[in-house]
Structure 1
Amino acid sequence: MNIRASIAATLLAGSILAPISVFAGQAPGASSDPDIPVSGKDRVYAAEQFSNTVSVSDPSTNKLLGVIKLGDPQPGNLSPLYKGQVLVHGMGFSPDHKTLAVVSIGSNSVTFIDTATNVVKHTTYVGRSPHEAFFTPDGKEVWVTVRGEDYISVIDASTFLEKAQIKVPSGPGMQIFSPDGKYGYICSSFNPETVVVSVADHQIVGHVKQESPFCPNIAASADGKQVWFTLKDVGKTQVFNAQAPFDLIKTLDTGPITNHVNLVTNKKGNFAYVTIGGLNEVKVFRTDTFEQVATIPVGNLPHGIWPSGDGTRVYVGLENADQFAVIDTLTNKVIANIPIGQAPQAVAYVPNAVPEGDGLANLVPLGKAGEAAHLKLAAKGHKGSKDTPSTVTLFDQGLTQVLQASVTGLDPKKPYVLALSGKPDGSGPLQGLSNFMTNPAGSAIVNAVGPIRQIVESKRKDERQYLVVASSVDDKPGDVVQVQAE
């Protein structure tokens, strides 16, 4: 055997004895990190906005284990003596996978939870309407986007106290970090500008122009080359260079109510998974060619999204279905659905969150947090699910419900009203529930509160009302354009 053949045989033997994964490392980690196979030690979390809970699921069985109750639904949370959290929304986790950081928009708080015991370790209060929080890769700081103001709250991860504020354009939406911990990327929900901040000294070192002002979510690739962010108002996703000069690489038309994006590496390559709330789909793009390779129907109003530690699955929170949709990333098919709490927003998959024990301590049953009614609205004169552009969920809060409608298929930047009609076709007098303006993609998220379920599900024909969307003229209902689908 010649020397070249001998070396080749040695390398082959070594590869058989100690295989090296070429598709290791899932965001927000580095590509040098090993993949972590799905196991019963992992946990999938969702922040649930209207039940004020955090659901905890076991990905090895795709079963809900219970919820961590951070607050009460309405009207209990309206009391002046109320101490719980309101509008549980954002989520991040520490590099050692031991701590979950949960942001509540309405109570201006970040709740730190021990993943092994589900115990709240501390609650830190920050400025107006925080949105998302994430740990720096070294685990020393937690950056919180204070969306109602113009700064990032920097929290010491050991004391849970705010140690600094980083001035940024008003309305910071979310931040994520480069895998090497050098940069923090911060998009804006109120200004068409993403900024890049040096983690070492908290100074802005780069700017990226957003095509619109409303960015809710951002993700950085594990190889440190790309940053992806979504634009909810115009239905686009943009990609820029993760290294200076932070130039824009690509703009993708993704669809109405483009919500969250996350990045996945598997044996087929590197992919971006984007939730499109207005289409009830997840779209999948290659990160090298930006080719769309899959469209996955998932259910009503997909929002948060996160991959498993080995990139074989993606978990999608369905905001208007109170479920996780579980996607197999090799087939791009939904393989399971998990019932969870009301209106899941941010999602986090934490590998090895519970290294020992069953991880059931301090969890409570879903209970009222799992109760909701689901309706659809179709364009007037059309029937059938394929013609249904809008979904409505009535989240049970006791005698009342929080109504949330994901309305699409309308004219862009036009005023409309969600209303009640005594007739299925919307004829006759209308009672307005909520006035709204569509975004540039002709869609909107519309909310109302009241005993609406009792009305739209009444068994008495003389009492029953039907949800409709009508044009708005001088803040009053005009022509009906969408009606409740039976």
Structure 2
Amino acid sequence: MKRFSMTALVLTSTMLLPASWAMAGQAPGAAADPDIPISHHDRVYAAEQFSNTVSVTDPADNKLLGVIRLGEPAPTNFSPLYKGQLLVHGMGFSPDHRTIAVVAIGSNAVTFVDTATNAVKHVTYVGRAPHEAFFTPDGKEVWVTVRGENYVSVLDGTTYEEKTRIVVPNGPGMTIFSPDGKYGYVCSSFNPETVAITVADHKIVGHIKQESPFCPNIAATPDGKQVWFTLKDTGKTQVFDASPPFALLKTLDTGPISNHVNFARNERGQFAYVTIGGLNEVEVFRTDDFSKVATIPVGKLPHGIWPSGDGTRVYVGLENEDKLAAIDTASNTVIANVPIGQAAQAVVYVPNAVPEGTGTEGLQPLGVAGQSAQFTMRPAGDKSAPADKAPTSVTLFDQGLVQVLEAAVTGLEPKHPYVLALAERADGKGKLEPLSGFTTNPAGSAIVNAIGPIRQLVHGEAEAPRRYLVIVSGSATELGEPVQVQVE
């Protein structure tokens, strides 16, 4: 409670603003664009990588309408004859709000979906492991960052066919555009360098140094002055000038697994909202002086984030909780949670996506995609640690015959090897069954995945021995001591 009372005081102090402030314009549009009040015509879309679905939510009453099923769960998608999409992950939308572009990392695809009918209009296959896609502000092109290679695939905005490629630093993570459509900004997930590119002729005209290599997300402010990007490996967020010479303005220590960033504008100013996966929080900063004005607990592993068309809300996908959280930007509190598919990644809010009708055609119920189990892990030997403050969250996503495990690990030594395992004792001792080896990033965190009949082992019948999740130091061949254990 103390945190929120302090936040309220800070927010109140921001009420004194210049009379010229305009209460309009939300990302990715310009500040001069009109606000669009929330209505039943709007849609919130979340890309879900383990159920291979796109959830569709009506923000007027925060109700899940159904999912667009682009692929099947494991192990069906292991087949050499599998034709669906795999690891549905990234998302963007057209300036006329009639099309969403959905990127599937594992099948190298961009699927274009009609917002009014939820029907797939076209699928374009690009290079290895694309990550995100977005339309240029004029709608003439779609830029797809091909993270497994070294280029942006530029698609025609009407035919969706590739027309050219822009060579960039290896591992492009995401692209976003200045509201005026002059520049595209492309950060990297493998190299510490972001580039600015002129949209008209596809020329690189600026280089911005990233403090570390792993940038998953980038966003431009509606006032056209700044570009923000997150660094997932070091837990930082950086800001640079949106115009030449693209000078770095600020580096913020936001926290482990800093995921996505976006903006909301209201009568108090323009604010950046950053999802901090390792802390299960969203941090809110002013864009004029970079002061932090709020910290919002939202749920496990917040990932994608996007504002409503009027800036009164931001929506956050909770990757390890299979929910969509709605934040009221006036109070900076969560006002609703909507059940969605498995492991939400990118989120977009599309105002007036369905101009008429119900917009529910072709949608399917969640089904198995709505089934998961959540756990937390605390430091070994520290039973006093409250479960809601445990450094590691774990989710088992039910795929039918097997489960996908995802652990958002924090609180460990940076750049050290560890093993996530099943132990026969709650204290992490005894015989261990390794699930996945990993090395922490410079912030002492990691996203760890495994797949198998894990839930049956953890929640077995009486005749089956129970197992407990544990993280131990070392490797699968040289297991060390427990460092984190499952909260019972």
Relative to the length of structure 2, the TM-score reads: 0.95
Deviations, residues 21-50 of structure 1 (Å, cap 9, x unaligned) = 821000110011000000000000000000
How far 1:55 sits from its partner (Å)?
0.2
CA separation in 2, counterparts of 1:269 and 1:387? 32
Q: Which residue pairs with 1:346 in the alignment?
A: 346
Letter in 2 for 1:128: R
How far 1:427 sits from its partner (Å)?
1.1
Deviations, residues 285-316 of structure 1 (Å, cap 9, x unaligned) = 00001000000000000000000000000000
C-alpha RMSD of matched pairs (Å) = 1.2
CA separation in 1, counterparts of 2:463 and 2:480? 24
SS at match of 2:34: coil
Distance 1:115 1:131, change over 3 A: same
Q: Which of 435, 442, 445 does residue 444 from structure 2 map onto?
A: 442
Larger-Rg structure = 1
Letter in 2 for 1:286: R
1:398-437 mapped onto 2 (5 Å cutoff): 398-437=400-439
Instruction: Determine if contact 1:420/1:432 at 8 Å carries over to the other structure.
Output: yes
How far 1:335 sits from its partner (Å)?
0.2
Deviations, residues 386-405 of structure 1 (Å, cap 9, x unaligned) = 44100110011112100000
How far 1:476 sits from its partner (Å)?
2.7
Instruction: Determine if contact 2:259/2:274 at 8 Å carries over to the other structure.
Output: yes
How far 1:431 sits from its partner (Å)?
1.2
SS at match of 2:357: coil
How far 1:78 sits from its partner (Å)?
1.4
SS at match of 1:368: helix
1:294-443 mapped onto 2 (5 Å cutoff): 294-383=294-383, 384-443=386-445
Q: Which residue pairs with 2:226 in the alignment?
A: 226
Letter in 1 for 2:444: G
Instruction: Determine if contact 2:437/2:476 at 8 Å carries over to the other structure.
Output: no
Instruction: Determine if contact 1:379/1:387 at 8 Å carries over to the other structure.
Output: no
How far 1:381 sits from its partner (Å)?
1.8
SS at match of 2:368: helix
Q: Which residue pairs with 2:12 in the alignment?
A: none
Deviations, residues 313-351 of structure 1 (Å, cap 9, x unaligned) = 000000000001110000000000000000000000000
Q: Which residue pairs with 1:12 in the alignment?
A: none
Structure 1: 5+ residue stretches without partners: 1-19
Q: Which residue pairs with 2:16 in the alignment?
A: none
Q: Which residue pairs with 1:170 in the alignment?
A: 170
Distance 1:269 1:475, change over 3 A: farther
Distance 1:454 1:474, change over 3 A: closer
Instruction: Determine if contact 1:417/1:476 at 8 Å carries over to the other structure.
Output: no
How far 1:461 sits from its partner (Å)?
6.9
Instruction: Determine if contact 2:457/2:464 at 8 Å carries over to the other structure.
Output: no
Letter in 1 for 2:375: L
Deviations, residues 147-181 of structure 1 (Å, cap 9, x unaligned) = 00000000001111000000000000000000110
How far 1:463 sits from its partner (Å)?
1.2
**2:23 paired with 1:23:** yes
Instruction: Determine if contact 1:419/1:477 at 8 Å carries over to the other structure.
Output: no
Letter in 2 for 1:133: A
Q: Which residue pairs with 2:272 in the alignment?
A: 272
Letter in 1 for 2:456: Q
Instruction: Determine if contact 1:435/1:475 at 8 Å carries over to the other structure.
Output: no
Q: Which residue pairs with 1:288 in the alignment?
A: 288
1:25-104 mapped onto 2 (5 Å cutoff): 25-104=25-104
Structure 2: 5+ residue stretches without partners: 1-19
Q: Which residue pairs with 1:4 in the alignment?
A: none
- Counting matched residue pairs gives 468
Distance 1:475 1:229, change over 3 A: farther
1:131-146 mapped onto 2 (5 Å cutoff): 131-146=131-146
Deviations, residues 223-243 of structure 1 (Å, cap 9, x unaligned) = 110000000000000000000
Q: Which residue pairs with 2:480 in the alignment?
A: 478
How far 1:382 sits from its partner (Å)?
2.1
CA separation in 2, counterparts of 1:208 and 1:120? 37
Instruction: Determine if contact 2:419/2:476 at 8 Å carries over to the other structure.
Output: no
CA separation in 1, counterparts of 2:464 and 2:363? 44
Give % identity.
72
CA separation in 2, counterparts of 1:287 and 1:475? 49
SS at match of 2:369: helix
CA separation in 1, counterparts of 2:335 and 2:430? 45
SS at match of 2:430: coil
SS at match of 2:205: strand
SS at match of 2:160: coil
Instruction: Determine if contact 1:240/1:246 at 8 Å carries over to the other structure.
Output: yes
Q: Which residue pairs with 1:153 in the alignment?
A: 153
Relative to the length of structure 1, the TM-score reads: 0.95
Letter in 2 for 1:114: D
Instruction: Determine if contact 2:419/2:475 at 8 Å carries over to the other structure.
Output: no
Q: Which residue pairs with 1:6 in the alignment?
A: none
Deviations, residues 61-120 of structure 1 (Å, cap 9, x unaligned) = 001000000000011111222111000000000000000000000000000000000000
Q: Which residue pairs with 1:3 in the alignment?
A: none
How far 1:460 sits from its partner (Å)?
2.1
Distance 1:474 1:417, change over 3 A: closer
CA separation in 1, counterparts of 2:208 and 2:21? 34
Deviations, residues 175-224 of structure 1 (Å, cap 9, x unaligned) = 00001100000000000000000000000000000000000000001111
Letter in 2 for 1:470: V
CA separation in 1, counterparts of 2:168 and 2:475? 38
CA separation in 2, counterparts of 1:21 and 1:91? 31
Letter in 1 for 2:411: G
Q: Which residue pairs with 1:8 in the alignment?
A: none
Q: Which residue pairs with 1:108 in the alignment?
A: 108
Instruction: Determine if contact 1:38/1:310 at 8 Å carries over to the other structure.
Output: yes
Instruction: Determine if contact 2:48/2:344 at 8 Å carries over to the other structure.
Output: yes
CA separation in 2, counterparts of 1:283 and 1:302? 11
Bigger drift between 318-327 and 386-395 goes to: 386-395
CA separation in 2, counterparts of 1:422 and 1:462? 11
SS at match of 2:428: coil
CA separation in 2, counterparts of 1:238 and 1:256? 14
Q: Which residue pairs with 2:6 in the alignment?
A: none
CA separation in 1, counterparts of 2:160 and 2:21? 37
SS at match of 1:77: helix
How far 1:424 sits from its partner (Å)?
0.4
Q: Which residue pairs with 2:206 in the alignment?
A: 206
Instruction: Determine if contact 2:68/2:362 at 8 Å carries over to the other structure.
Output: yes
Letter in 2 for 1:440: P
Instruction: Determine if contact 2:190/2:214 at 8 Å carries over to the other structure.
Output: yes
SS at match of 2:335: strand
CA separation in 1, counterparts of 2:150 and 2:317? 28
CA separation in 2, counterparts of 1:85 and 1:66? 18
Distance 1:463 1:159, change over 3 A: same
Instruction: Determine if contact 1:189/1:213 at 8 Å carries over to the other structure.
Output: yes
**2:249 paired with 1:249:** yes
Bigger drift between 385-394 and 66-75 goes to: 385-394
